[in-house]
Amino acid sequence: MSAGTPWRIASVRAALQAKQISARELAAEFYGRIYKRNAELNAYLTLSPERAYAQADRIDAAVARGETLPPLAGVPMAIKDVISTRGVRTTCASKMLEDYIPPYDATAVERLERAGAVLLGKTNCDEFAMGGSNENSAYGPVRNPVALDRVPGGSSGGSAAAVAAGLAVAALGTDTGGSIRQPGSFCGIPGLMPTYGRVSRYGLVAFASSLDKIGPFATNVADAAAVLSVIAGHDENDSTSAAVPVPDYIGETEKSVKGLRIGVPEDYFGAGLDPEVKEKVQSGIALLEKLGCRRVPLQMPHTDYAIAAYYIIATAEASSNLARYDGVRYGLRVPGGTLTEMYRQTRERGFGPEVKRRIMLGTYALSAGYYDAYYLRAQSVRALIARDFADAFQKVDAIVTPTSPIPPFRLGEKALDPLQMYLADIYTVTGSLAGVPGISVPCGKTKAGLPVGLQVFVPHFKEGCVLQIAHAFEQAGGSTI
Amino acid sequence: MKISREDVVRVAELAHLGLTPDEIDSYRAQLDGILTYIDKLNELDLANVEPMAQVLYTSATPSATESHPELRDDTLRPCDVADSVLTRAPDAVKPFFRVPRVIDR
């Protein structure tokens, strides 16, 4: 296969089986690309060639023995650096964990490797997955491979950029309030957030435990389905992973979308939506209608309250989860005369500005006298938003919206105003709060050539349906609409 | 003004976060803006809404085991990780993590 031709899971498999390339050669080809492009993109923070080549050799031995290859055999993949990898540095893009080497693998990582995937390395992200531009990394921002002066989105910006630039065939990201879907949209590739509980989080470094999810990026929807098939399912090491059977997601993508009812909530097309993004998403909806979907207008009246509820709940949970970084057991320690001094200095030095801001907001919201006014109130609003989704799914099979109200912005353009940055999460946080699965699929480009994403939400555990719609949209030319 | 300089100092203390005087001022202004925006939540009448505590289960589900098939049997399993955990600690003397004086006075 010539340089520049995008590899996909099926073509990797075909090439290995036909002995056109070995898994080792393929891994070497991807490392070659990474050495060439990563200085500019900053998508990878750590490479793991020893582990990758050992796995590639196992696959090549299986090919030589004529064995049936596992589903992701030889597929070069990247892992967001908030997901634990045994023996491979896992920094969470923070100075706090600069030298941290986990003693175990996350379940998702273990399952990928068991399925034959070759893990190339760990990708850059916003520190502890907090941000929407990848500018909050302690190791520098990632550049968007589609437009180098622009952000790749966040927080899983490195994973999205790596896949979009051909530096991995697929990648794992995490999504708490939009951190897979929005960078997928910004980099022009599909990004899937599964249902809360669909994928085990054992080994995922926690940010907001009632919202965090692991999910795939790929260059096409069928590959995202293939990765989900491998990582989904119950795990006895994560009691929040659901004991719901895993269907054949690849088979589901092939189903016709004819007759599906797609809800279009008016509340997602109001003030603040960039006119070019609006036009593209409306053309995308028209394309789905042409494919036989029935458009149903919807009201989701609590959409406007989602950002306020999300930023209380997510920061409250973060302030609690990040209390563990105190310099005692692992990670950075800045010595102090007393235990309290050590805690304070370690956390002052180890955390970046956005992480500190969120710890402050979350601690305030949970502190005596404010708990009812903020945290409890936000949880009630969360219930109303979940009810908006449940009511909508009485009438429709899926909800279709823009992923982000704006196309990718310039590096530094929004970095000075945290509230403006938070407000850009408006269309993604709703589904996060409701715990439903959602995908962002490429939906054309603006006149300046910047990618636009179409977001599709479906009911809990209906990932098959979201993949089916996204696949039909992609096959009908949605990415060049 | 939603939040004062003193509030910021108090919250930083609760969170064990060291902040410089400049950070205290800039966080005060930023948190003030964010909390003012969050006041939006007060527009809604929430008197009859139960706060959401679980994403996939409701408090109405009948029995713990029925609604949570994820729960496994409570049996002892070996967990032999002490050594690999202690080698990652900034300061450990097996089998302990070593820290500065705990009692300040």
d(CA A414, CA A273): 16
- pLDDT value for B68: 64
Distance between CA A5 and CA A12 in Å, rounded? 12
Please return the burial class of A295, using the count of CB atoms within 10 Å of its CB with bins 0-12, 13-18 and 19+.
middle
Could you tell me if residue A278 is inside a domain?
Answer: yes
Residue A78 confidence (pLDDT) above 50:
yes
Claim to verify: residue A171 and residue A317 sit in the same structural domain? no
A310 touching chain B per CB within 8 A: no
Domain-embedded: residue A378: no
Q: How far is CA A434 from CA A177, A295, A431, B37, B53, in A?
A: 11, 22, 5, 21, 12
Cα A82 to Cα A92, A345, B51, distances in angstroms: 5, 23, 29
Instruction: Name, of A154-158, A335-339, B53-57, the range with top average pLDDT.
Output: A154-158
Residues A225 and A347 in one domain: no
* pLDDT value at B69 more than 80: no
Instruction: Please check whether residues A111 and A169 belong to one and the same domain.
Output: yes
| Cβ neighbours, 10 Å, residue A259 | 9
Q: Mean pLDDT score of chain A, rounded to an integer?
A: 97
Q: Tell me: the pLDDT tens digits for A368-410?
A: 899 999 999 999 999 999 999 999 999 999 999 999 999 999 9
For residues B8 and A363, give the distance between their C-alpha atoms in angstroms, rounded to a whole number.
10
Q: Is B91 on the interface with A (CB under 8 A)?
A: yes
| A179 band by pLDDT with thresholds 50, 70 and 90 | very high
User: Residue A326: pLDDT above 70?
Assistant: yes
Whether residues A166 and A191 fall in one domain:
yes
Helices A23-41, A49-64: axis angle to 10 degrees equals: 150
Q: Which CATH number belongs to the domain containing residue A53 in this structure?
A: 3.90.1300.10
Among A349, A372, A395, which residue terminates a domain? Answer: A372
Question: With a threshold of 0.95, does the pTM exceed it?
Answer: yes
Domain presence at residue A342: yes
Mean of pLDDT values over A223-244: 95
Q: How far is A152 from chain B (nearest CA, A)?
A: 25
The answer on A181 and A102 residing in a single domain is: yes
- Strands in A102-209 per DSSP E: 118-123, 170-175, 191-193
Per the domain annotation, does A3 fall within a domain? no
Query: Which residues span the domain enclosing A476?
Result: 261-300+384-480
Task: Assess whether A368 and A391 both reside in one domain.
Answer: no
ipTM of the complex: 0.93
* pLDDT at residue B67, rounded to an integer: 55
Question: Do A268 and A401 lie in a common domain?
Answer: yes
Q: B27 vs A341: CB contact, 8 Å cut-off? A: no
Share of chain A above pLDDT 90, in %: 97
Domain co-membership, A218 together with A73: yes
**pLDDT value of position A412:** 95
pLDDT, average across residues A232-254: 94
pLDDT interval class at B62 (50, 70, 90)? very low
* Catalytic residue list contains A48: no
| Residue A242 and residue A294 share a domain | no
Catalytic residue of the set A155, A156, A185, A241: A155
For B59-82, what is the mean pLDDT? 69
pLDDT over threshold 60, residue A149: yes
Number of domains in chain A: 3
Which of A323, A344, A372 represents a domain boundary (last residue)?
A: A372
Question: In 3D, which of B88, B15, B6, B86 has the Cα closest to residue A343?
Answer: B15
pLDDT at residue B64, rounded to an integer = 47
Please tell me the distance from the alpha carbon of residue B67 to that of residue B49, in angstroms, as a whole number.
Answer: 22
Same-domain status, A118 and A214: yes
Whether A268 has a pLDDT exceeding 90, the answer reads yes
Whether A246 has a pLDDT exceeding 60, the answer reads yes
- Asked if residue A421 has pLDDT above 90, the reply is yes
| Cα four-point dihedral sign A104, A109, A114, A116 | negative
Does one domain contain both A127 and A163? yes
Residue A148 has pLDDT above 80, yes or no: yes
Note whether A67 and A135 are same-domain residues: yes
Distance CA A175, CA A180 (A): 5
- Catalytic, out of A156, A159, A179, A440: A179
Q: Is residue A4 part of a domain?
A: no
Per DSSP, helices labelled H in A177-305 are 181-187, 221-231, 249-253, 275-290
Residue A377 lies in a domain: no
Determine the 3-state secondary structure of A271 from DSSP.
coil
Q: Average pLDDT in the A72-88 region?
A: 98
Compute CA A121 distance to the chain's CA centroid, rounded to the nearest angstrom: 16
Give SS3 for A255: coil
User: Is residue A1 one of the residues assigned to a domain?
Assistant: no
> Is A155 a residue of the active site?
yes
Burial state string for A404-441 with b = 16 or more CB within 10 A and e = fewer than 16: bbbbbbebebbbeebeebbbbbbbbbbbbbbbbbbbbb
Rounded to an integer, what distance in angstroms lies between the CA atom of residue A404 and that of residue A173? 17
A208-222 tens-digit pLDDT = 999 999 999 999 999
A152 phi and psi, to 5 degrees? Answer: -85, 0
Mean pLDDT value across residues A4-29: 94
Boundary-marking domain end, from A326, A350, A372: A372
Instruction: Provide the pLDDT for residue B103.
Output: 74
Question: Most B CBs within 10 Å: which of A130, A360, A382, as the mutation test of the B interface?
Answer: A360
pLDDT tens, position by position, A183-217: 999 999 999 999 999 999 999 999 999 999 999 99
B31: contact with A, CB 8 A cutoff: yes
Does A65 fall in a domain?
yes
Give A418's pLDDT tier (boundaries 50, 70, 90).
very high
Q: What is the pLDDT of residues B10-24, one digit of tens each?
A: 999 999 999 999 999
Q: Please provide the distance, in angstroms rounded to a whole number, between the alpha carbons at the two ends of chain B.
A: 37
Q: Does the beta carbon of A309 lie under 8 angstroms from any beta carbon of chain B? A: yes
* pLDDT for position B56: 80
| CA–CA distances in Å: residue A310 to residues A111, A316, A378, A380, A392 | 31, 10, 7, 11, 20
Contact criterion met (CB < 8 Å) for A383 and B101: no
pLDDT at A232 over 70: yes
In whole angstroms, what is the distance from residue A89 CA to residue A95 CA? 12
Residue A416: band (very low, low, confident or very high) from pLDDT cuts 50, 70, 90: confident
